[in-house]
Amino acid sequence: MRKPIIMDANNIVVRYANAEHAIYAEHICQLIYESALQRGTGIAKRSPEYVAEKINGGKAVVALDGDKLVGFSYIESWSHGDFVATSGLIVDPEYRQMGLAGRIKKKTFELARERFPYAKLFSITTSLPVMKLNTALGYVPVTLTELTQDEEFWKGCEGCKNYDILQRNNRTRCLCTGMLFDPKATPIDPDIEVPSMSKWQNRLRKMLHLKSNK
C-alpha cells in the first residue's frame, strides 16, 4: 500500500531559478501537459528547450521540496519590453492548496518588477486561483486589446485548442481573461525594491528603442 505523503509548506523553498535548475525542464513540461489534459482546457505548448532557456536566462522561479521540483513559473517580455507576461504557472498536484502558487506568483512578480520596472505586467488565464492571485497583486481584468500586440506572443496561442475562437474574434476576446498590472496606475508594494541598475537599463533600452532580450 502507498504511504500517505506528508508535505510541510515550510520545507518548500521558492526562489529565482539558475542554470543548475535546467535539469527540471522536461519534468516541468510534463507537469504542464498533464494538468492541461486533466483540466480539458487549452494551453500554449512549451518545449523543454524553451523552458530551459527561461531558466538559464534568469527569467524563472522554481519551488523545490529538497531536490524535487514542485512548482514553476517564468516571465517573458514583449513589445520591446513595454509588456511582461508571467506564464507557465504550475504546481505539482500533490502540493496544491497549500499556498504555493501564491508564493510563486509573488516571486515572479518581484522578478518582473526588478528586471522591467516600467513594463506593464499581464497574464491570460482561465484559472480561478490565478485570477484571485493576480487580483491580490494589483492586476485588473481587461479586454485582450489592452495587452501586447506583439505577434510573437499571440503565436504562442496557436497550440491551444481554443485558438479558432481567438482568431474568429480578431484577437479581441477568447476564453482566457486578460489581466493587467499597470505600474503607473497601481501603487507599488513598498516591500518590493527595484534596483536602480534595472531602472537605468530600462530607460536606456527605451531611449535607444532596443529590443529587449526575451
Ligand X SMILES: CC(C)(COP(=O)(O)OP(=O)(O)OC[C@H]1O[C@@H](n2cnc3c(N)ncnc32)[C@H](O)[C@@H]1OP(=O)(O)O)[C@@H](O)C(=O)NCCC(=O)NCCS
- The residue among 86 and 202 lying less far from ligand X, judged by its C-beta, is 86
* Residue ranges in the chain assigned as alpha helix (H): 25-39, 48-56, 100-115, 128-137, 151-155, 163-168, 196-207
Number of shown-chain residues binding ligand X (CB under 6 A): 18
- Determine contact, residues 63/16, Cβ cutoff 8 Å: no
Site string for ligand X, 29-48 (x = CB under 6 A): ------x-------------
Give CA–CA dist 26/48, Å, rounded. Answer: 5
Instruction: Give the whole-angstrom CA distance, residue 201 versus residue 182.
Output: 19
Subset of 87-146 contacting ligand X (CB under 6 A): 89-91, 96-102, 125, 127-130, 132-133
- Decide whether 61 or 100 has the Cβ nearer to ligand X: 100
Q: What is the smallest separation between the CB atom of 201 and ligand X, expressed in angstroms?
A: 28
The residue among 167, 213, 214 whose CA lies nearest residue 42 is 167
Burial of 164 (0-12, 13-18, 19+ CB in 10 A): exposed
- Where is 144: in which H helix or E strand? none
Nearer to ligand X, 55 or 133 (CB): 133
Residue 5 within binding range of ligand X, rule CB under 6 A: no
For residues 40 and 187, which CB has a smaller minimum distance to ligand X in the complex? 40
Q: Is 177 in the site for ligand X (CB under 6 A)?
A: no
Considering the complex, what minimum distance in angstroms separates the CB of residue 157 from ligand X? 12
**Comparison of 92 and 113: residue with beta carbon closer to ligand X:** 92
Cβ closest to ligand X, residue 42 vs residue 81: 42
210 and 80 Cβ atoms separated by less than 8 Å: yes
Is position 12 an interface residue for ligand X (rule: CB under 6 A)?
Answer: no
Q: Does 162 bind ligand X (CB under 6 A)?
A: no
Return d(Cα 192, Cα 195) in angstroms, integer.
10
In the complex, the residues that contact ligand X under the rule CB under 6 A are 35, 89-91, 96-102, 125, 127-130, 132-133
